[in-house]
Amino acid sequence: MQPRFAWSLFLSIGVSLLMLSVLIHAFSSTSAEFLPRLARLLASANLLFIALYVVAGFAQNSLRALRYQMILKTGEDNIPGFFHIFTVTLTRSMFVDLLPARLGELTFVAMLNRGYRVGAGNCLSALSLSFLFDMIALGILLIALIFFQLFDGKYQPWMLGTLIAIFLFCLAAVAALFPLAGKIRSSLDALQAEQWKYLGKLVKLFNDTVEALRQAAQAGIVGKTLLLSLGVRICKYLGLYALFLGIVLPEFSDIDTSIGTALAALLSGEAGAALPVPAFMGFGSYEFGGSLALIALGANKTAALLIMLAIHLWSQGVDYTLGIAALLVFSWVTARRGREAAGMVKTAKKNRIAWVLTLAVLILGLGFFAYQLRGLKKLGSFTPPPPGHALEGTAPATGTALAEKKGFIVWSSNRFGNHDILKMTLPEREISRLTTHPHAEYYPRISPTGEAIVFARAHEVYVSQRNFVAWDVILLNLQSGEERIIAQNSTAPTWSKDGRSIRYQKNGNQVAEYFLATGKEHILAAAGKNIPVPADTELQTPSWSDERRMLATAMRAPMPTVFVIQPGKELLRLGEDSCEIFWGPDSAYLYHVGHDVGHDGKQTNVFKRIDPNTWKSEKWFDFPGEYSHEYFPKVDNTGKFLIYGASSGGHEHDQADYEIFVWAIGSPTGTAERMTFHTGNDNWPDMYLGNGGFDGKKPD
HEC string of 279-318 equals: CHHHCCHHHHHHHHHHHHCCCCHHHHHHHHHHHHHHHHHH
Q: Report which residue type is found at 240.
A: L
HEC string of 115-138 equals: HHCCCHHHHHHHHHHHHHHHHHHH
Bridge partners, residue 421, by sequence = 412
Find the range with the poorest average confidence among 247-261, 367-381, 607-621.
367-381
Q: How far apart are CA 325 and CA 340, in angstroms?
A: 24
Q: How far apart are CA 510 and CA 299, in angstroms?
A: 32
Domain chopping of the chain, boundaries: 50-337, 340-371, 407-689
Bridge partners, residue 643, by sequence = 634, 662
Distance of CA 304 to CAs 24, 250, 649, Å? 19, 15, 40
pLDDT (tens digit, 9 = 90+) per residue, 116-130? Answer: 888 888 899 998 899
Number of alpha carbons in the 13 Å side-chain half-sphere of residue 527: 20
Per-residue pLDDT, 289: 66
Per-residue pLDDT, 115: 82
Find the range with the poorest average confidence among 489-503, 561-575, 614-628.
561-575
Q: What are phi and psi of 414, to 5 degrees?
A: -105, 15
Q: Are 270 and 138 in contact (CB under 8 A)?
A: yes
Per-residue pLDDT, 426: 93
Helix axes 120-152, 200-217, angle to 10 degrees: 50
Q: What are phi and psi of 449, to 5 degrees?
A: -90, -10
pLDDT for 578 beyond 80: yes
pLDDT for 20 beyond 50: no
Q: How far apart are CA 620 and CA 613, in angstroms?
A: 17
CA nearest 34: which of 442, 467, 652, 383?
Answer: 467
pLDDT for 639 beyond 70: yes
Q: How far apart are CA 216 and CA 212, in angstroms?
A: 6
Per-residue pLDDT, 341: 45
Chain centroid to CA 160: 34
pLDDT for 409 beyond 50: yes
Find the range with the poorest average confidence among 155-159, 211-215, 258-262, 533-537.
155-159
Mean pLDDT of the chain: 81
Read off the pLDDT band of 400 (50, 70, 90).
Answer: confident
Per-residue pLDDT, 228: 95
Per-residue pLDDT, 27: 45
pLDDT for 138 beyond 90: no
Specify the 3-state DSSP secondary structure of 155: coil
Q: How far apart are CA 511 and CA 239, in angstroms?
A: 48
Which residues, in sequence order, are CB contacts of 348 under 8 Å at separation 6+?
A: none
pLDDT for 379 beyond 50: yes
Per-residue pLDDT, 328: 80
- Number of CB atoms found within 10 A of residue 318's CB: 17
- 201 versus 144: the higher-pLDDT residue is 144
User: Across 546-672, where does the E strand assignment appear?
Assistant: 550-556, 560-565, 572-576, 579-583, 590-595, 605-610, 617-621, 629-635, 641-647, 659-664
Letter string b/e over residues 606-633, b meaning 16 or more CB atoms within 10 A of that residue's CB: bbbbbebeeeebeebbbbeeebbbbbbb
User: Residue 338: is it exposed, middle or buried by C-beta count within 10 angstroms (0-12/13-18/19+)?
Assistant: exposed
Length of the chain in terms of residues written: 700
Per-residue pLDDT, 597: 61
pLDDT for 358 beyond 70: no
Q: How far apart are CA 192 and CA 200, in angstroms?
A: 7
Per-residue pLDDT, 618: 92
Per-residue pLDDT, 563: 87
- 46 versus 106: the higher-pLDDT residue is 46
Region 402-423: mean pLDDT is 94
Read off the pLDDT band of 234 (50, 70, 90).
Answer: very high
User: Residue 119: is it exposed, middle or buried by C-beta count within 10 angstroms (0-12/13-18/19+)?
Assistant: buried
- Number of CB atoms found within 10 A of residue 564's CB: 21
Q: Are 589 and 597 in contact (CB under 8 A)?
A: no
pLDDT for 327 beyond 90: no
CA nearest 62: which of 232, 314, 268, 261?
Answer: 232
Per-residue pLDDT, 602: 62
Region 444-457: mean pLDDT is 97
Region 469-486: mean pLDDT is 95
List the 420-426 sheet strands across, edge first. 431-433, 420-426, 407-413, 682-689
Percentage of the chain beyond pLDDT 70 is 76
Region 624-644: mean pLDDT is 95
pLDDT for 570 beyond 50: yes
pLDDT for 300 beyond 80: no
Which residues, in sequence order, are CB contacts of 174 under 8 Å at separation 6+?
A: 132
Read off the pLDDT band of 279 (50, 70, 90).
Answer: very low
Per-residue pLDDT, 502: 97
- 407-689: which CATH architecture? 6 Propeller (2.120)
Per-residue pLDDT, 577: 84
Q: How far apart are CA 134 and CA 650, in angstroms?
A: 54
Per-residue pLDDT, 102: 62
Region 564-571: mean pLDDT is 84
CA nearest 660: which of 426, 378, 404?
Answer: 426
Identify the DSSP state of 691. S
User: Residue 300: is it exposed, middle or buried by C-beta count within 10 angstroms (0-12/13-18/19+)?
Assistant: middle
HEC string of 399-421 equals: CCCCCCCCEEEEEEECCCCCCEE
Distance of CA 590 to CAs 7, 585, 610, 654, Å? 59, 9, 5, 25
Which residues, in sequence order, are CB contacts of 16 under 8 Å at separation 6+?
A: 320, 324, 365
Q: What is the largest CA-CA distance in the chain?
A: 109
Q: Are 268 and 289 in contact (CB under 8 A)?
A: yes
Q: Are 310 and 249 in contact (CB under 8 A)?
A: no
- 149 versus 285: the higher-pLDDT residue is 149
Region 551-563: mean pLDDT is 85
Per-residue pLDDT, 133: 92
pLDDT (tens digit, 9 = 90+) per residue, 488-522? Answer: 999 999 999 999 999 999 999 999 999 999 999 99
Q: Are 637 and 446 in contact (CB under 8 A)?
A: yes
Q: How far apart are CA 117 and CA 110, in angstroms?
A: 9
H-helix or E-strand spanning residue 158: helix 157-175
CA nearest 379: which of 20, 16, 27?
Answer: 27
Q: How far apart are CA 688 and CA 185, in angstroms?
A: 89
User: Across 436-577, where does the E strand assignment appear?
Assistant: 441-446, 452-458, 471-477, 483-488, 490-495, 501-506, 510-515, 521-526, 540-545, 550-556, 560-565, 572-576
Q: Are 149 and 264 in contact (CB under 8 A)?
A: yes
Distance of CA 18 to CAs 23, 107, 333, 370, 371, Å? 9, 19, 27, 10, 11
